[in-house]
Chain A
Amino acid sequence: MISPLEPVFLFQLGPIAITQAIVTTWAIMGVLVVGAFLLTRQLDLYPGPRQAALELIVTTLDTQITETSGAEPAPYRSFIGTLFLFILVANWSSLIPGIEPPTAQLETDAALAVLVFLAVIWFGLRRSGVGGYLRSFAAPNPVMIPLNILQSLTRVFSMFVRLFGNVMSGVFVIGIVASLAGLLVPIPLMALDLLTGLVQAYIFAVLAMVFITATVQDGRANPTPSPNKKDT
Chain B
Amino acid sequence: MDYLSLASIICAAFAVSFGALGPALAEGRAVAAAMDAIARQPEAANTISRTLFVGLAMIETTAIYCLVIALLLLFANPLLV
Which A residues lie at the B interface, using CB under 8 A?
3-6, 64, 67-68, 158, 161-162, 164-166, 169, 199-200, 202-203, 206-207, 210, 228, 230, 232
Q: How far is the CB of A193 from chain B (nearest CB, A)?
A: 15
Number of contact residues on B: which range applies? 10 to 19
Q: Is B3's CB within 8 Å of the partner chain A?
A: no
Report Cα–Cα, A4/B58, bound state, in Å.
Answer: 23
Q: Is the interface of A mostly helix, strand, loop or mixed?
A: helix
Binary per-residue interface labels of chain B (49-68) against chain A in the complex, 1 for a CB within 8 Å, 0 otherwise = 01101100110110011011
Q: How far is the CB of B72 from chain A (nearest CB, A)?
A: 8
Contact of A165 among B54, B58, B64, B75 (CB under 8 A): B64
Interface residues of B, Cβ cutoff 8 Å to A: 46-47, 50-51, 53-54, 57-58, 60-61, 64-65, 67-68, 71-72, 75-76
Q: Which of B51, B57, B65, B67 contacts A199 (CB 8 A)?
A: B57
Residues of B within 8 A of A164 (CB): 68
B48 to chain A, nearest CB (A): 11
Instruction: For the complex of A and B, list the 3 residue pairs with the smallest distance between their C-beta atoms, beginning with the closest.
Output: A165-B64, A3-B75, A203-B57
Given known contacts A4-B75, A5-B71, is B54 in contact with A161 (CB within 8 Å)? no
Q: A5-B76, A67-B47, A165-B68 are in contact. Are A202 and B60 (CB under 8 A)?
A: no
Beyond the given A67-B50, A203-B57, please list 16 additional residue pairs across the A-B interface where CB-CB is below 8 A: A3-B75, A3-B76, A4-B71, A5-B71, A5-B72, A5-B76, A158-B61, A161-B64, A162-B60, A165-B64, A169-B67, A199-B57, A202-B53, A206-B50, A210-B54, A228-B51
